[in-house]
Structure 1
Amino acid sequence: MSYRLYVRPTAPFQGPDADLAEQRFNWALLDASGDSQAHGSGDSRETIEQTLAQNDLKGVRLIGLIPGEEALFCLADIPAKQSRFIQQALPFAVEEQIAQDIESVHLALGPHTENGYQVAAIDHRQMGHWIELFSGWSHAVLEAIYPDASLLPITDNGWSICLDGDTAMMANDQGEWLSVQSRNLGMFVQTLSAPPSEEVVAEVPVTLFATENEFDHSQADIGLLKGAARLAVKEQVLELMPLELLAHAHHHHLCAPINLCQGGYSIRRKKTGVFGVWKPLVAVASVWFILQVAVEIGFGYYHSERAEQVQEQAMGIYREFFPNDRRTTAGNVRRVVQGQLNQLQERGTDAGFIALMKYTGSEYTKLAGADSVVFNSVNYSQNRGELVVDVRADSYGKLSALRNGLSDKGLEAQIGSVVNEADGARGRLTVSGG
């Protein structure tokens, strides 16, 4: 019988340079029919491996779930249909939605929708850390890694929300996911109320998952959701931990998450008995390849020298017009110039609600004395591609620091309607894709 082991690390998370043996996990073991056979919370890797060994289980398929904020949801409008061309065009299609060097980001391709290809973007260093954390387990083989919020069951034409302690996982039927602080749910009421398409709808359905204790402790925030005029909130009580909801949804195909284990991070399983049949053909192909290389090596050496000369000429022209750019090299100058031309033609890019919230929240956490900065409301205009935050601080300097941090990320950030009061200042922060 085939088993799946869903493993989700718990806070505090061990960083790339920390001792991974100290990391604790919530976990659930499902059989082939999707029934839970065992589960646990706050356990070490050793404890989980011992459980598999005691039940004489081998080759269990391990599904790793990482915090939803670790990966960014993007959309890529690529007209090509062949996989090779899609992969080549993917970095260019999403580069302007990501506020860091695209070469430092791992891109995982998801399904194609009417809005384009769904893409998950995650920092290479973080992805390497998660691969290391979930690899090499006894009695289990890594099959996939997903952002946890992306496994929420889909609510048609609406949103799914799961309360999990201090965190609220959110996802909609367009494939977008987001993890936020539970106490900040009220700030998203107007955004959740916006219909997912241009169609006129009377209500936007919201399915709210939580345990009875979570519902009791979050009555104030839940009341804000229920009080919204256009939200139809339906509560579903969880008898067990949220991880088992995510595992159930994934096993029964109630969601469409993007597996981050692609490209250089794909899971390669060894196969026995089949490769041996192809060994003679591989040997012949190898000999042919060596002969072909020997024939072409002379031409290659000549063209290599010519290519270096052309690259030097191209970089000389580029530096003549951009003398202060030290990051561009001969290897990426074409992509850099193409990106600059795209920006001039498109007059900016809508980074999307998820991306703008992520970067605004990231800069908020970096502020000195962030406790004195309060977001009173958050609104998002899909038509204008703008995130508007009504923010209050004990000084205008902190509002300015928040704006400057977003600008340094390559986003367009402005503060308007500033009102100086006796105990601080308040204003309206407008953020767009730049």
Structure 2
Amino acid sequence: MSYRLYVRPVPPLADPAQNPEAFSYNWVLHDASGDTQARGTGDTQREIEQTLGQNALDNVLLIGLIPGDEALFCLADIPAKQSRYIQQALPYAVEEQIAQDIESVHLALGRHTDDGYRVAAIDEERMRHWVSLFSDWEHVRLDAIYPDASLLPVTEGGWSVCLDGEIALMVSDRGEWLSMHSVNLGMFAHTLAVPPSEEVVAEVPVTLYATEQEFDAQQTIVSEFKAPGRLLVRRETLELMPLELLAHAHHHHLSHPINLCQSRFSNRSDTASPFKPWKPLIAVAAVWFGIQIALEVGMGMYYERKASELQDRAMAIYREAFPGDRRTHAGNVRRVIEGQLRVAGSAGPDLDFITLMKYTGQEYAELPGGQSVTFNSVNFSRSRGELVVDVRAESYDRLSALRNGLSNQGLEAQIGSVVNESSGARGRLTVSGG
């Protein structure tokens, strides 16, 4: 089961670069279904790690929430759709909205809306400190860092506000988040209540979240927020700390925050592949494998060329000895020569009737479907050393197969006087010693 640990530092905040041990955290642990399994307030990192260890939890996804004023909300109007071009154009699209050198700012890209791409901008050095603060915890791995206010549930067409002691968290329906001192809420409320001159006056829905104790403690601020008539304020009482509201909204996709862990601060590229330490060795092995394949292909081509040259030389020698033989080629020359040697060895320079008949009968017996070939008459001329057979077969292919078999034995075999009939083919097979 996958667990998520939401961690939010408790103010006043120490410098994460100077004294990370001085931080204490509010935290809540969710299971895969979004149910709260454990929570804590004002605990140190060590105490949270001990709680996870006691419950035998490991590889928990850590989601760090930083103060909303640490990151700035921007909109980027970029016509490109491919991710590579969007990343290239992003600094130029938001440069005028940021009051510091764009080279020292880390930009995180959010979802695309009708107004453009939502962007979170944070000082690069501060982002490095926050990543260091939430990294290397036992039993967890960093999954995301969000501005806390950006996780508030969105109120359609208006604003969501959460009272959290001296701080008020706010987010608009277009995703813009703010963090400010609660005492300034009245001024902010009057700003919302003043409509633009070119628009028709309409109510602005505002959802106000706080615990019952918080509502009682800040009645004056709440009443100032309700005073302007254009704001339609709806109160939502929290039973637990605001962090649980943020975690609930994130799990159920009631908000659209921007994960700051992108680009150079992305933690997914480091954990995605267990083979990262082996990449240099894999690269060397790949190069070696490529060289080996190229060498094998080269050697194969070399040997193939040499074999072709030897075949050509062998056939040239054979043609010199048997200039009239046009059926023998490099593929069967060895078998033809062996047959000729067998014939020469068994019959001597002159072949008699018995020898020629033996080879003819042997090839006849080896024909597939030999019963379809019949001998009508057999004649032998001693003076010419020729065996003449009148033969009939169901097709000329059978006659040709018989002739080729005799030729492969080193004999001179020819078919003449071929007549094709409805019942097959007949011809005269002449066999001699070659």
Q: Calculate the TM-score normalised by the size of structure 1.
A: 0.63
Partner residue of 2:185? Answer: 185
Partner residue of 2:166? Answer: 166
Matches of 1:167 and 1:271 in 2, distance apart?
A: 37
Partner residue of 1:12? Answer: 12
- Displacement of 1:276 in angstroms is 11
Matches of 2:270 and 2:279 in 1, distance apart?
A: 17
**Aligned partners of 1:194 and 1:204 also within 8 Å:** no
Matches of 2:19 and 2:277 in 1, distance apart?
A: 40
Aligned pair in 2 of structure 1 residues 221, 273: CA closer, same or farther (>3 Å)? closer
Deviates more, 1:272-281 or 1:64-73: 272-281
Partner residue of 2:93? Answer: 93
Partner residue of 1:208? Answer: 208
Partner residue of 1:157? Answer: 157
SS class of match (2:271): coil
Aligned pair in 2 of structure 1 residues 56, 190: CA closer, same or farther (>3 Å)? same
- Displacement of 1:194 in angstroms is 5.7
> Map of 1:60-209 to 2, 5 A cutoff?
60-193=60-193, 200=200, 202-209=202-209
Aligned pair in 2 of structure 1 residues 104, 283: CA closer, same or farther (>3 Å)? same
> Map of 1:253-264 to 2, 5 A cutoff?
253-264=253-264
- Displacement of 1:270 in angstroms is 3.0
Partner residue of 1:270? Answer: 271
Matches of 1:34 and 1:16 in 2, distance apart?
A: 29
- Displacement of 1:14 in angstroms is 1.9
Matches of 1:164 and 1:59 in 2, distance apart?
A: 30
Matches of 1:77 and 1:37 in 2, distance apart?
A: 42
The AA in structure 2 aligned to 1:270 is T
Aligned pair in 2 of structure 1 residues 87, 273: CA closer, same or farther (>3 Å)? closer
The AA in structure 2 aligned to 1:219 is Q
User: Which structure 2 residue ranges, 5 or more long, are not aligned?
Assistant: 292-434
- Displacement of 1:279 in angstroms is 9.7
Aligned pair in 2 of structure 1 residues 44, 191: CA closer, same or farther (>3 Å)? same
SS class of match (1:84): helix
The AA in structure 1 aligned to 2:271 is K
**Aligned partners of 2:205 and 2:233 also within 8 Å:** yes
- Displacement of 1:19 in angstroms is 1.9
Q: Calculate the TM-score normalised by the size of structure 2.
A: 0.63
Matches of 2:69 and 2:226 in 1, distance apart?
A: 26
Q: How many residues align?
A: 290
Matches of 1:231 and 1:48 in 2, distance apart?
A: 41
- Displacement of 1:289 in angstroms is 12
- Displacement of 1:114 in angstroms is 0.8
Matches of 1:159 and 1:198 in 2, distance apart?
A: 21
**Aligned partners of 1:158 and 1:196 also within 8 Å:** no
Matches of 1:135 and 1:167 in 2, distance apart?
A: 26
The AA in structure 2 aligned to 1:66 is I
Matches of 1:172 and 1:57 in 2, distance apart?
A: 36
**Aligned partners of 2:204 and 2:230 also within 8 Å:** yes
Summarize deviations over 1:67-99 as a string: whole Å, max 9, x none: 000000001111111111111111111111111
The AA in structure 1 aligned to 2:174 is Q
> Map of 1:47-66 to 2, 5 A cutoff?
47-66=47-66
- The share of aligned pairs that are identical, in percent, is 63
**Aligned partners of 2:16 and 2:133 also within 8 Å:** no
**Aligned partners of 1:6 and 1:64 also within 8 Å:** yes
Summarize deviations over 1:345-402 as a string: whole Å, max 9, x none: xxxxxxxxxxxxxxxxxxxxxxxxxxxxxxxxxxxxxxxxxxxxxxxxxxxxxxxxxx
The AA in structure 2 aligned to 1:119 is V
Matches of 2:43 and 2:128 in 1, distance apart?
A: 23
Summarize deviations over 1:187-217 as a string: whole Å, max 9, x none: 0123323679987463111000001111011
SS class of match (1:270): helix
**Aligned partners of 2:155 and 2:205 also within 8 Å:** yes
The AA in structure 2 aligned to 1:230 is R
Partner residue of 1:427? Answer: none
Partner residue of 2:235? Answer: 235
Aligned pair in 2 of structure 1 residues 200, 17: CA closer, same or farther (>3 Å)? same
- Displacement of 1:218 in angstroms is 1.1
Partner residue of 2:40? Answer: 40
Matches of 2:290 and 2:69 in 1, distance apart?
A: 45
Summarize deviations over 1:226-245 as a string: whole Å, max 9, x none: 12111110001111000000
Matches of 1:287 and 1:53 in 2, distance apart?
A: 46
What RMSD in Å do the two structures reach over aligned CA positions?
2.7
> Map of 1:348-367 to 2, 5 A cutoff?
none
- Displacement of 1:220 in angstroms is 1.0
Aligned pair in 2 of structure 1 residues 271, 98: CA closer, same or farther (>3 Å)? closer
User: Which structure 1 residue ranges, 5 or more long, are not aligned?
Assistant: 291-434
The AA in structure 2 aligned to 1:53 is G
Structure with the greater alpha carbon radius of gyration? 2
> Map of 1:258-407 to 2, 5 A cutoff?
258-267=258-267, 268-271=269-272, 282-283=283-284
Query: Would you identify which runs of 4 or more consecutive aligned residues in structure 1 move more than 2 Å?
Result: 190-202, 268-290
- Displacement of 1:11 in angstroms is 1.3
SS class of match (2:78): coil
Matches of 1:250 and 1:202 in 2, distance apart?
A: 30
SS class of match (2:103): helix
**Aligned partners of 2:4 and 2:29 also within 8 Å:** yes
Matches of 1:163 and 1:183 in 2, distance apart?
A: 11
Matches of 1:229 and 1:289 in 2, distance apart?
A: 76
SS class of match (1:137): coil
Matches of 1:188 and 1:87 in 2, distance apart?
A: 34
SS class of match (2:259): coil
Summarize deviations over 1:117-147 as a string: whole Å, max 9, x none: 1100000110001000000110011000000
- Displacement of 1:152 in angstroms is 0.2
